[in-house]
Structure 1
Amino acid sequence: MTDMEVTSQRVDTHGLVGVLCAPRAPGPAPGVLLLGGSEGGLHERDARALASEGFSALALAYFGASSLPPGLVDIPLEYFFRALDVLAAQPASGERFGVAGGSRGAEAALLTAAHDERVAAVVSVVGSGVVTQGIDFRQGNLLDILRTPTNSWTLDGQALPYLPNVVSDELGDLIQRGVPVPLSLAYPVLPSDPGLLEQVNIKVENIAGAALFICAEDDRMWPSREYTQVAIDRLSAHPYPVEHKTLRGAGHPIAGPPSTPFTTTTSPGPGVTFEMGGTTAANTGARASAWQATVRFLKDHLA
């Protein structure tokens, strides 16, 4: 199916900001909710690519777009539940859906799946099995953003406990020197106290469907492998299929459909340059592999 055979329409009801893309041809087109990461905004290109594979794909912005919060701060999980309502209203989408997210969007995807039984398949790409600190871009520079205690998500009006950032001397020195920064330095090791870890865990065992976890071996934006392993461990007795892939040599930017080959392993940030990890060749190949695995997984579990 080509891009010309895909329709798209803006979604702006119930406070949502999104784009719904679907095959132009009639027939079943399983619904999938797509969530981007800490860059914010809409990922319409991703939705069109998934629609060309036969899905009704809703690319949803949850901050960093008009009428939405400027940062990842106090985002209600109910916002994502309302997005599933939009998919449920599409006759071709079916009754149970997929949710796919990258990075912080994967964190949101797992939270959504854990709290809404309509999710039959969830995909986490370089994500996290624990709730992490919010991102308040209004603070300005990166050090102030990292040091400002901020909730990411709420449920029923209550903030979800999160794993707070750490700002080490090493991280501060790199920022001050103006060299590429591995943001993974701002994320702490997991709590050794089981009680503290339980507080920030995502209750993935409540997901009523299959789960796919894709990690990058050299993710320098955050410790997605370690944080994802928490979710995988919790799903050891899960009655639904669980898949886990680690892509060797790859860094953080592997979520989404394949694009032109990467020419750098860095990315701009608030007053800094981020070191994403991996190599340009490994990241290019891993992005294609991750997308192929995502599409196959969704077709297997949403048919």
Structure 2
Amino acid sequence: MTVVEHELTSPWEAVLMEPAAGGSTGVVVLSGSSGRVDRQRARLFAERGFRALAVRWFGGAGQPPGICEVPLETFVAAVDLLRSRGARRIALLGLSKGAEAALLTAVHDPRVDLVVALAPTSVVWSNVGPGLDGQQLPLRSSWTWRGQPLPFVPMDRSWQPEGRGKDGGQDGGEDGGEGNGPVAIRGWYEQSERTFASRLDAAAIPVERARADLLLVAGGGDAMWPSLPYAHRLAARREAAGAPVEVVTREDAGHRPVLPGESPATPSPTFDHGGTPEGDALLGEAAWAAVLDRLQRLDRLDAIAPPPHR
């Protein structure tokens, strides 16, 4: 399918990919803490007939250099743009911290019809890297809404991985950084939850409030954070509210599912993402089938009953 690419520089760096004969559904594609514009993943959707917008949501001009008090309005603006291009149904797909952003955006923006959360968390975490002030400390929320920081769980800075000093190099983000060899930091998140247990309820992502359908994709072997237990927590909140949710998982997959047509993830010299290449690919294949089913369902639903203006 012919795909037209548009390079955007405002209100953020982004690429918009539009199929020559697309449907009524648009997809916002959010990377993890690499901060990159995920062109390859956006193209996968465009080649299937969906408008796809991949945005840089931190680290760009006028944005925090790290994932520190990033306004959720950043993602609302992405929804606005897709709707201005004719998308009447909206999906958000995010990986890791991008999944955290997607889930929170759906809680606050009822125009979102579907969230695909790859390697999600069930709580809001503290910042990864510096804010607009250039400072990493004191710890602050990763996100704001209408200028107010969201409640968050801090990272326990006393944690030390085997063979590493304090902080374990986490500031490099999920897709790479500086360090002296791969390290699993899942234990850091687990310890932080124990240390700050009193803050978990306030920081929980209230996915039961989201109008959107939820598809959660997590590997049992995730070594970055316990995304599968997080996915089960999110699913339990949805099920208790009678809201739609599905969890797609494989025990041998790690933090980075690989969708069909994507290049295999490059091993990080800093972080152990867990899982196996085969498991990551098989989880991505199962997830892709579920994602396409939901997106095609949105297109069919729109053809029968276009959504009211909202």
Q: Same fold (TM over 0.5)?
A: yes
Residues 12-161 of structure 1 aligned to structure 2 (within 5 Å) = 12-13=9-10, 15-25=11-21, 27-91=22-86, 93-94=87-88, 96-136=89-129, 149-161=139-151
Once residues 206 and 73 of structure 2 are traced to their aligned partners in structure 1, the CA distance between those partners, rounded to angstroms, is 16
Residue matched to 1:290: 287
Higher helix share: 1
8 Å contact from structure 2 (residues 17, 51) kept in 1: yes
Indicate if the aligned counterparts of 2:15 and 2:55 stay in contact, CA closer than 8 A.
yes
Question: Superposed, which structure 2 residues align to 1:164-183 within 5 Å?
Answer: 164-168=154-158, 170-171=160-161, 173-175=163-165, 178-183=180-185
Residue identity matched to 1:20: L
Quote the sequence identity (%): 35
Whichever residue aligns with residue 164 of structure 1, its letter is P
The alpha-carbon deviation at position 66 of structure 1 amounts to 4.1
When residues 135 and 257 of structure 1 are mapped into structure 2, their CA distance, relative to the original with a 3 A threshold, is farther
- 1:95-134 residue CA offsets vs partner (Å, 9 max, x unmatched): x311111111000000010100001111111011210121
Is the 2:259–2:284 contact (alpha carbons within 8 Å) kept by the matching residues of 1? yes
TM-score with structure 1 setting the length: 0.84
CA 59–260 in structure 1, closer or farther in 2 if over 3 Å, else same: closer
Task: Give, in angstroms, the shift of residue 247 of structure 1.
Answer: 1.5
- Counterpart of 2:231 (choices 222, 228, 231) is 228
* Cα-Cα RMSD: 2.6
Checking the alignment, whether the CA contact within 8 Å between 1:132 and 1:162 is kept in structure 2 is yes
TM-score normalised over the length of structure 2: 0.83
Which amino acid is 1:294 matched to?
V
AA aligned opposite 1:180:
P
Q: Is the 8 A contact 1:174 1:180 kept in 2?
A: no
- Partner of 1:21, secondary structure, is strand
Distance 1:281 1:148 in 2: 40
Asked if structure 2 preserves the Cα contact closer than 8 Å seen for 1:22 and 1:29, the reply is no
Which segment is superposed worse, 198-207 or 247-256?
Answer: 247-256
For residues 142-197 of structure 1, the C-alpha deviation after alignment (integer angstroms, 9 at most, x for no partner) is xx96x751321001111111111124554163358934210212213546998632
> 2 CA distance for matches of 1:249 and 1:218?
6
- Corresponding position: 1:210 with 2:222: no
